[in-house]
Structure 1
Amino acid sequence: MERSVRSSRRSGAGLVVLTIFLVALCLRPALTSVGPLLPTIGADLGVGEGTLGGLGTLPLLAFAAVSPLVTRLTSRIGTDRALLLALTVLTVALLARSYTGVPGLWVGTAVIGAAIAVGNVLVPVIVKRDFGGNVSLATGVYSAFMTVSAAVASAVSVPIALAVDWRFALAVWAALTLVVTLAWLPRALRSRSAPMARPADEHKAPIRLWRRPTAWLVTGVMGLQSTTFYVMVNWLPSIEAARGVSEEAAGVHLFVYIGVGVIGGLVIPLLFRSSGNQVLAGVVASMPMIVGVIGILLAPGLSLLWVVIAGLGSGASLVVALSLISIRGRDQHDATRLSGMAQSLGYLLAAAGPIVAGSLAEATGSWTATLVAVLVAAVLQLGVAIGAGRPERSGVQPSGGL
């Protein structure tokens, strides 16, 4: 009887730990559901395309602004409770964005970005804490949940809008976040980490972090993979249309690009575990984007093949970036600060990506310059991934290897 009770408790604890993967489901639908609906939103509200483009950039700017502040929040209320607050705010903001008019559309979008930023920063920290010996595998599963929800949201937003309206198509994801918030609530209430005790030299820690070369390399991986992803998500259909792909096929290719990222994200941890080589993993994750972009430039007739290859690399690169954040953090405090730095600067770079890509296309009259810019970013990612994968000079190798 006692053994049965212990087994039940362990199972219950395991289920509580797994709720982090449910959180991953909430971190992208609020963003990827918007793009397909922009023409409908613009027609309904009388807003031009240039203005609507800001709806895609605003969350990334919120990521950049809020990410460095997450450490202060967790120091006050703890990691699990900070994530509960973010989920609650996200639920309310999803409803406000749809049903409070044009001002609410913009304010709600900004608040949504801020709430998601907290989740972006804290999930690698929680993965490091709860899955210490399996960081890359847990990160791969987490990113798979996140990618699937992103792909589904982008695919169903238009059908839902046609069946009801665009406001409901955006707000419906509040139901998902509400369910996950309720699932996370017991974990937050039981949390023993609120607030986290600050080290005696806490005020010096951010300065030391910004002086660590490895921190900048990890930030580079995060920023460059985010830049290539958001450029492709925003402009891939337009790039393919200019090369003779039909509008319907280009839309399918975008879904494929996002969807196959799940496979890349789940496979790359197997390489980590079999080889234990973080540099090799970084190279393998970075190369497909290079190959895919070169293929689109030189052999556009095989566009679906190149989209699949690039998508595999995109998903794998996200897992590499998030895993490096978890592993290069020397403790929970350091991982939170590193996550804030990498995602703040990384998403600031990513926010500029789609704008620069569109400007290059407008200035040159073709998408070739944009594709070359993506290729350059992918090559740079390869270089910084090699550096970020090497052990730090101090000889300190954090636990929870890839």
Structure 2
Amino acid sequence: MKRSSAPSSLYARPLLLLGVLLIAANLRAPITGVAPLLDMIRDGLSLSAAEAGGLTALPLLAFAVASPFCVLLAREYGLERCLFAALLLIAGGVGLRAAGSTPALFGGSLAIGLGIAVANVLLPSLLKRDCPDRIAGLTSAYALTAGAAAALASAFAVPIATLPGSSWNWALLAFLPVTLTALAVWAPQLRASTPPTADVPTPPHGDSVWRAPLAWQVTAFFGLNSLVYYVVVAWLPAILAEAGYSAAAAGSLHGVSQLATAVPGLFLGLLVARMKDQRLIAALTPLATVAAMLGLIVAPGLAVVWAALFGFGTGATFILALAFVSLRASSAGQAAALSGMAQSVGYVVASVAPSLVGVLHETTGGWRLPLLLCAAVGLLMAGFGFRAGRAVQIG
């Protein structure tokens, strides 16, 4: 049935709020929890470095291709049903990925990426519809939930895989109860079928944002941050293992980086809202990522510092990039077009990087050059951030 009017607040319906947070818990962890197990998976399935990087690339390609079109499904079937379908895709992908074969591994990763793409696009629309006056607080809450779930998935992956009688398959499958719980809690929402808000990204149709230099600056800021983030998400445990850390310690530090990505969400949105322009902060936040990459080269013994700094820097840059989508647009329709442009181009750029970095590591025999290149990308990102942070809008 159709919901006749939007509720005044998510807080008035605790089950719906819990469902939102449980969906958020599925937005990163199924992807980031793979990295600590990557060596085990490569050994078990005889994967090359490029194929291993492809485990991260596939979900990103799904983000890039599916994100602009999710709204079309939501307009036809409703937000609630599409979010339920997203959870079904994630659950099916988690189960398939653990089947133990290479096709199942990649097929499951693709399904997970499609499910996360749908939820990423539609969940903000649900928040805007149901609680428009508390979007900042709720966005921070689900960002923190996503980061905490990703951190736990990374930290516990290796301990689960090394239990007696266990393997990497079981470690990948261990996240399934979280997704099934989300499905169960969200199921009552299927009684409603409401369309997304008008500002959800739709496929571009030659919109002027594609010809605007400012739009490309925002897109580059978003895309370069995604590139570095997913390279490090894919390879940080391997980088740390080469520096002498155990697999369990590397997984825990990977978890630290994921938890740190959520920290800027607690305050950065409110800070940005008080700024006349954001040039300084947009140029400085990528430098945290640069420092983390250089730190891993020169002082790997302080990896806990560099992991936390990396997570904080990329998390802050991500929030700024999303804010620029709204701040630099002159209308809701233009913001939707810019969001679709930034996500499509950004995730395509990011999707090829993990595999290429894996090949570069195999070619050079170490992580020094890949980390230096990531640092260089961070400097480039700072330049685009300074331009995107100007208090101007797309004409």
Distance of 1:335 and 1:273 partners within structure 2: 17
Distance of 1:240 and 1:9 partners within structure 2: 45
3-state SS of paired residue (2:195): coil
1:285 offset after TM fit, Å? 2.8
Residue 26 and residue 336 in structure 1: after superposition, are their counterparts in 2 closer, same or farther (change >3 A)?
A: farther
1:306 is aligned to 2:299: no
1:213 offset after TM fit, Å? 3.8
Counterpart residue number, 2:169: 167
1:354 offset after TM fit, Å? 2.0
Distance of 1:132 and 1:70 partners within structure 2: 21
1:351 is aligned to 2:351: yes
1:323 offset after TM fit, Å? 3.4
Q: List aligned pairs for 1:67-146, cutoff 5 A.
A: 67-99=67-99, 101-130=101-130, 132-146=132-146
- The percent identity for this pair of structures is 35
Distance of 1:97 and 1:345 partners within structure 2: 27
Counterpart residue number, 1:285: 285
Q: Which deviates the most, 148-157 or 118-127?
A: 118-127
1:150 is aligned to 2:150: yes
1:176 is aligned to 2:175: no
Distance of 2:365 and 2:205 partners within structure 1: 48
Residue 354 and residue 192 in structure 1: after superposition, are their counterparts in 2 closer, same or farther (change >3 A)?
A: closer
Distance of 1:361 and 1:64 partners within structure 2: 26
Counterpart residue number, 1:342: 342
Do the aligned partners of 2:100 and 2:169 also contact (CA within 8 Å) in 1? Answer: no
Counterpart residue number, 1:222: 222
Residue 83 and residue 334 in structure 1: after superposition, are their counterparts in 2 closer, same or farther (change >3 A)?
A: farther
Which one-letter code corresponds to 2:207 in the other structure? I
Counterpart residue number, 1:400: none
Do the aligned partners of 2:80 and 2:192 also contact (CA within 8 Å) in 1? Answer: no
Do the aligned partners of 1:94 and 1:171 also contact (CA within 8 Å) in 2? Answer: yes
Do the aligned partners of 2:203 and 2:340 also contact (CA within 8 Å) in 1? Answer: no
Higher helix share: 1
3-state SS of paired residue (2:98): helix
Do the aligned partners of 2:71 and 2:122 also contact (CA within 8 Å) in 1? Answer: no
Q: List aligned pairs for 1:2-401, cutoff 5 A.
A: 11-13=11-13, 16-17=16-17, 19-45=19-45, 47=47, 50-99=50-99, 101-130=101-130, 132-163=132-163, 164-193=166-195, 206-242=206-242, 249-275=249-275, 277-300=277-300, 302-325=302-325, 335-393=335-393
Alignment coverage as a number of residue pairs: 386
Q: Which deviates the most, 372-381 or 228-237?
A: 228-237
- CA RMSD in angstroms comes to 3.6
Do the aligned partners of 1:70 and 1:340 also contact (CA within 8 Å) in 2? Answer: no
TM-score normalised by length of structure 1? 0.80
Which one-letter code corresponds to 2:344 in the other structure? S
Distance of 2:252 and 2:81 partners within structure 1: 39
Do the aligned partners of 1:124 and 1:322 also contact (CA within 8 Å) in 2? Answer: no
Q: Which deviates the most, 8-17 or 371-380?
A: 8-17
1:26 offset after TM fit, Å? 0.8
Q: Which deviates the most, 370-379 or 39-48?
A: 39-48
| Alignment gaps of 5+ in structure 2 | 1-6
1:14 offset after TM fit, Å? 6.3
3-state SS of paired residue (1:193): coil
Distance of 2:115 and 2:226 partners within structure 1: 18
CA-to-aligned-CA distance 1:259-278 (integer Å, 9 cap, x gap): 22232332323422454644
Counterpart residue number, 1:398: none
Do the aligned partners of 1:19 and 1:184 also contact (CA within 8 Å) in 2? Answer: yes
Do the aligned partners of 2:80 and 2:194 also contact (CA within 8 Å) in 1? Answer: no
Do the aligned partners of 2:199 and 2:336 also contact (CA within 8 Å) in 1? Answer: no
Do the aligned partners of 2:225 and 2:314 also contact (CA within 8 Å) in 1? Answer: yes
Distance of 1:203 and 1:358 partners within structure 2: 32
Which one-letter code corresponds to 1:180 in the other structure? A
CA-to-aligned-CA distance 1:99-145 (integer Å, 9 cap, x gap): 48543332222121111111222334444445545544443332221
Counterpart residue number, 2:3: none
3-state SS of paired residue (1:260): helix
Do the aligned partners of 2:23 and 2:182 also contact (CA within 8 Å) in 1? Answer: yes
1:347 offset after TM fit, Å? 1.5
Distance of 1:342 and 1:107 partners within structure 2: 26
Residue 49 and residue 221 in structure 1: after superposition, are their counterparts in 2 closer, same or farther (change >3 A)?
A: closer
Do the aligned partners of 1:63 and 1:114 also contact (CA within 8 Å) in 2? Answer: yes
Distance of 1:248 and 1:171 partners within structure 2: 18
Do the aligned partners of 1:124 and 1:325 also contact (CA within 8 Å) in 2? Answer: no
Residue 239 and residue 176 in structure 1: after superposition, are their counterparts in 2 closer, same or farther (change >3 A)?
A: closer
